Structure 1
Amino acid sequence: MVADACLRRELGRVPYEPTWRRMQVFTDERGPDTPDELWVLEHPPVYTLGMAGKPEHLLCETAIPMVRIDRGGQITYHGPGQIVVYLLVDLRRRGLKVREMVNLMEQALIDTLADEGLAAERRAGAPGVYVGEAKIAALGLRVKNGCSYHGLALNVDMDLTPFTWINPCGYSGLQTTQLRDHGIGTDQVIVAERLVAHLERQLPPLRPGVAPA
């Protein structure tokens, strides 16, 4: 019997592409009894472009590498000072549809920001979490054989300039923000702990007798 709790891995600052490949291998090799995992990390500066992403959303030449990957969505930026959580979750064992998974990720982010006294919201048709008109967290998932990978990114205390060189998530003129811009100086490790706790609370328990195809 697989425990309901996810195995949490604190990876530190790791390069993007090897981490992505590691997620793919994990998902391909997992079996009916493989525990779900949450990977908590940050990346060196990198742009990622989803499967249907348009390269023209990168607005200028830059030394920051761009990696075309296998999640949904358009272009986004990762860099130091941003919390990234990858959710390697067997959706079928937890009775989750993809839209429900996205909703719970957004809710965990909203609850984490509420812990800091910051009111955030989701927007219909635009996955992610927003404070006012500015996006503070991005989401992107891939589901293969009923199992998810990729995840979410929350801006905490980073250089937001690279976001101005793209149309974030494909939206021209979309503003981005972060906790620091709202006077919140909580240590990133503490914010990550709270975020993971909210994610774990949002995830439904495993359903007995349900194994991945």
Structure 2
Amino acid sequence: MQTFTQHRDADTPDEIWLVEHPPVFTQGLNGQAEHIQQSLRAIPLVHTDRGGQITYHAPGQLIAYLLIDLKRRKLGVRQLVTLLEQACIQLLAEFQLPAYARADAPGIYLEGKKIASLGLKIKRQSSYHGLALNVNMDLTPFEWITPCGLQAMQMTQLAQYQADISVEQVQPRLLRQILQLLENSPIMVDS
């Protein structure tokens, strides 16, 4: 993402990368050591240049990295955050789940629990990093940290409301929501 963003020019098409990661904790630029509540065991901690605190990624979590030229799209950072939140909220509405965003803490929430985390980096008027939606994963490692720096925040996932759901089933739906909100602009997709 960093290399792509560093070398892109005004004509480089925007891209969306849809991925799953092996188990890893990532700590953003604002990360604080006290948000690691106990030993992370054998799961690595990676310091990253995105905004936000510490979070957890693993198989069963759908990550959407948006490599977007904000200037060309006439988008501000807050607009992009809202777009990502709305894409996820609309996706969850397809499952009759009333998810919502909070003005005080980026991400997506459902019944008071966090179902998706959001962290971006803006460089050269372009974004990278993005959204992590918990689909069907082991949530236990979230208990070893203060997710996103939010004290007493419980995490949830789509599988708790929709049995046997998989990332493969959710991936095209999330992509469709993001593309619709970006007005179906020409974007390369790598999955």
Task: Give the TM-score of the pair, scaled to structure 2.
Answer: 0.93
**50-59 or 87-96: which moved more?**
50-59
Structure 2 CA distance, aligned partners of 1:165 and 1:139?
19
What is the RMSD computed on CA atoms of the aligned residues?
A: 1.1
2:21 aligned to which of 43, 54, 60: 43
User: How many residue pairs align between the two structures?
Assistant: 184
Greater length-normalized contact order (CA 8 Å, ≥ 6 residues apart): 2
Q: Which residue of structure 2 lines up, in the alignment, with residue 4 of structure 1?
A: none
Tell me how far 1:190 sits from its aligned partner: 2.1
Q: Is structure 2 residue 53 aligned with structure 1 residue 74?
A: yes
Map of 1:198-209 to 2, 5 A cutoff? 198-204=177-183
Q: Percent identity?
A: 53
Tell me how far 1:185 sits from its aligned partner: 2.9
Is the 2:136–2:166 contact (alpha carbons within 8 Å) kept by the matching residues of 1? no
Q: Is structure 2 residue 64 aligned with structure 1 residue 85?
A: yes
Q: Which residue of structure 2 lines up, in the alignment, with residue 148 of structure 1?
A: 127
Tell me how far 1:70 sits from its aligned partner: 0.4
Q: Which residue of structure 2 lines up, in the alignment, with residue 99 of structure 1?
A: 78
**190-199 or 178-187: which moved more?**
178-187
- What one-letter code is carried by the residue in structure 2 that aligns with 1:27? T
Structure 2 CA distance, aligned partners of 1:108 and 1:60?
33
Q: Is structure 2 residue 23 aligned with structure 1 residue 56?
A: no
Structure 1 CA distance, aligned partners of 2:184 and 2:86?
17
Q: Is structure 2 residue 22 aligned with structure 1 residue 29?
A: no
Q: Is structure 2 residue 117 aligned with structure 1 residue 157?
A: no
Q: Which residue of structure 1 lines up, in the alignment, with residue 153 of structure 2?
A: 174
Task: Give the TM-score of the pair, scaled to structure 1.
Answer: 0.84
Is the 1:179–1:185 contact (alpha carbons within 8 Å) kept by the matching residues of 2? no
Q: What secondary structure, in the 3-state scheme, does the structure 1 residue paired with 2:73 have?
A: coil
Q: Which residue of structure 2 lines up, in the alignment, with residue 18 of structure 1?
A: none
Tell me how far 1:205 sits from its aligned partner: 6.9
